[in-house]
């Protein structure tokens, strides 16, 4: 029997609530598919700041380093919003953990089951069969990490802030490889999104992507689109895309738009993968829901745990090669959600569900 060793970082807000349910589902999948779990909990985000004075303590990093994968909840909340920007959980935990493990590729499926098209703010006739796309976002380059990054006071007393957008050929090539592999497992179509009419980094992005695809995957249909148009096209006809492929900031924005049109933040998982392989020979990765800590519903027991459960499925697939178990969990979530026709996001005006009840519904289909 295999043992899966991973770090569990539930974080803040609804993080611990949905994590508990997701781990129950994982335990049950282990019984079914013959693996056992060896996981260690560690603090991250606001709770880590409160207990250790930093949002990403060394002790947490060590737990992650000793693991084959990281299962992450979410971080942040009103309690820590008044901290200086550099100490705030998202900036002091999320960005450093991505950097620490070189997690340069974010894979975020945008899936809306046909039975749930009512949950999307898009008109039903635009998405009669639901939505099924994947966003591949570069995660450790671009304007979020580029230097210099500073705020200073000018001679006339005015403040000036600077962020720098930087990309290198090697960074674009390695994420191109992820887009290619994702497309090969789907519809063989990639739309690369940039702003090559204005930005130097985008001119390089487009050139490198075009060359890399032509050399390594000429069979893939590659198109290019400016990011402003892509934002519009996502809202107009999302299924024209198969794999949406873009740099860090554009991906941050577009993948959230994708979350909204898919009707529920509580349904969308993501994987952040890097170059590092774990001891099993699979990519080391961090798996987390696409949404945040949902302070408005935290502690009420009504958060949708499906995004966290689907993050578990992605972890099984990418970092442990447990494809059957991953598919079984995904199918169980689909059945649980579509049979009750519920996703429970109050953000989208849907009646709340009980976190526990949703977990039990998923377990009943496993
Ligand atoms: P959010 O995703 O936490 O919440 C937006 C809306 O979606 C809320 O109404 C919330 O109730 C709802 N929602 C989100 N997940 C849900 C779920 N599983 N079930 C039901 N409803 C759900 O975004 P926000 O309000 O902008 O941010 C809240 C906090 O989370 C902030 O501190 C922010 O910095 C942090 N955040 C963290 C991450 C992360 O850890 N990766 C990502 C985004 C936001």
Distance set, CA 18 to CA 41, 44, 262, 329 (Å)? 14, 15, 20, 15
What are the pLDDT tens digits along the chain (366 aa)?
Answer: 899 999 999 999 999 999 999 999 999 999 999 999 999 999 999 999 999 999 999 999 999 999 999 999 999 999 999 999 889 998 899 989 998 999 999 999 999 988 888 889 999 999 999 999 999 999 999 999 999 999 999 999 999 999 999 999 999 999 999 999 999 999 999 999 999 999 999 999 999 999 999 999 999 999 999 999 999 999 999 999 999 999 999 999 999 899 889 987 788 999 999 989 999 999 999 999 988 999 999 999 999 899 999 999 999 999 999 999 999 999 999 988 887 656 555 545 556 678 988 899 899 999
Unique residue bearing structure tokens 């957008």: 165
**Domain ranges for the chain:** 1-120+263-366, 122-132+141-247+256-261
Q: Are 13 and 72 in contact (CB under 8 A)?
A: no
Please state, in angstroms and rounded to a whole number, the distance separating the CA atoms of residues 307 and 204. Answer: 34
Unique residue bearing structure tokens 């993050």: 311
Distance set, CA 98 to CA 11, 72, 81, 151, 191 (Å)? 15, 12, 21, 24, 25
> Which backbone phi and psi does 301 adopt, to 5 degrees?
70, 25
Ligand 1 centre to CA of 206 (Å) is 32
Domains 1-120+263-366 and 122-132+141-247+256-261 are alike in CATH topology: yes
Q: Are 306 and 119 in contact (CB under 8 A)?
A: no
Query: Residue 209 pairs with which residues in a beta bridge?
Result: none
For a ligand 1 pocket test, name from 292, 309, 343, 355 the mutation site with the most ligand atoms within 8 angstroms of its C-beta: 292
Go through the chain and tell me how many residues it has: 366
Which of the residues are catalytic?
Answer: 144, 195, 228, 252, 256
Tell me, yes or no, if the pTM score tops 0.85: yes
Ligand 1 centre to CA of 68 (Å) is 27
The domain defined by 122-132+141-247+256-261 folds into Isopropylmalate Dehydrogenase (3.40.718)
Ligand 1 site, residue 50, Cβ cutoff 6 A: no
What is the sign, positive or negative, of the torsion defined by CA atoms of 137, 272, 336, 294?
negative
Q: Please return the burial class of 95, using the count of CB atoms within 10 Å of its CB with bins 0-12, 13-18 and 19+.
A: middle
Ligand 1 site, residue 232, Cβ cutoff 6 A: no
Domain 1-120+263-366 matching CATH 3.40.718.10: the answer reads: yes
Ligand 1 site, residue 93, Cβ cutoff 6 A: no
């Amino acid at each position: 029997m295999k043992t899966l060793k991973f770090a569990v970082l539930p974080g803040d807000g609804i993080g611990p609530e949905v994590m508990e349910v997701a781990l129950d589902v994982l335990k049950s999948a282990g019984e079914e598919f013959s693996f056992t779990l060896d996981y260690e909990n560690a603090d991250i985000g606001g709770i880590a700041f409160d207990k250790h004075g930093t949002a990403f303590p060394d002790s947490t990093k060590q737990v992650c380093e000793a693991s084959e994968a990281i299962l992450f909840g979410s971080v942040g909340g009103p309690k820590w919003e008044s901290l200086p920007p550099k100490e705030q959980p998202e900036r002091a935990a999320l960005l450093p953990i991505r950097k620490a493990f070189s997690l340069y590729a974010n894979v975020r499926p945008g899936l809306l089951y046909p039975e749930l098209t009512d949950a999307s703010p898009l008109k039903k006739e635009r998405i009669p069969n639901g939505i099924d796309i994947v966003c591949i976002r570069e995660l450790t380059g671009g304007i979020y990490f580029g230097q210099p990054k500073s705020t200073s006071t000018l001679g006339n007393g005015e403040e000036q802030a600077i962020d720098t957008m930087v990309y290198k050929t090697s960074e674009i090539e390695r994420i191109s490889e992820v887009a290619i592999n994702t497309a090969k497992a789907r519809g063989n179509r990639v739309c690369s999104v940039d702003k090559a009419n204005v930005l130097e980094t985008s001119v390089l992005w487009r050139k490198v992507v075009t060359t890399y695809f032509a050399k390594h995957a000429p069979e893939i249909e590659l198109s290019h689109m400016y990011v402003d148009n892509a934002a519009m096209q996502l809202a107009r006809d999302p299924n024209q895309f198969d794999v949406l492929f873009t740099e860090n900031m554009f991906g941050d924005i577009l993948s959230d738009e994708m979350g909204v049109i898919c009707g529920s933040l509580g349904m969308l998982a993501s994987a952040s993968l890097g170059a590092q392989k774990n001891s099993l020979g699979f990519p080391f990765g961090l798996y987390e829901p696409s949404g945040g800590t949902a302070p408005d519903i935290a502690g009420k027991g009504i958060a949708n745990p499906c995004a966290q459960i689907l993050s578990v499925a992605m972890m099984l697939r990418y970092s442990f090669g447990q494809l059957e178990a991953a598919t079984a969990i995904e199918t169980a979530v689909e059945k649980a959600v579509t049979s009750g026709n519920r996703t429970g996001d109050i953000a989208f005006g849907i009646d709340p569900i009980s976190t526990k009840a949703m977990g039990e519904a998923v377990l009943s289909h496993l």
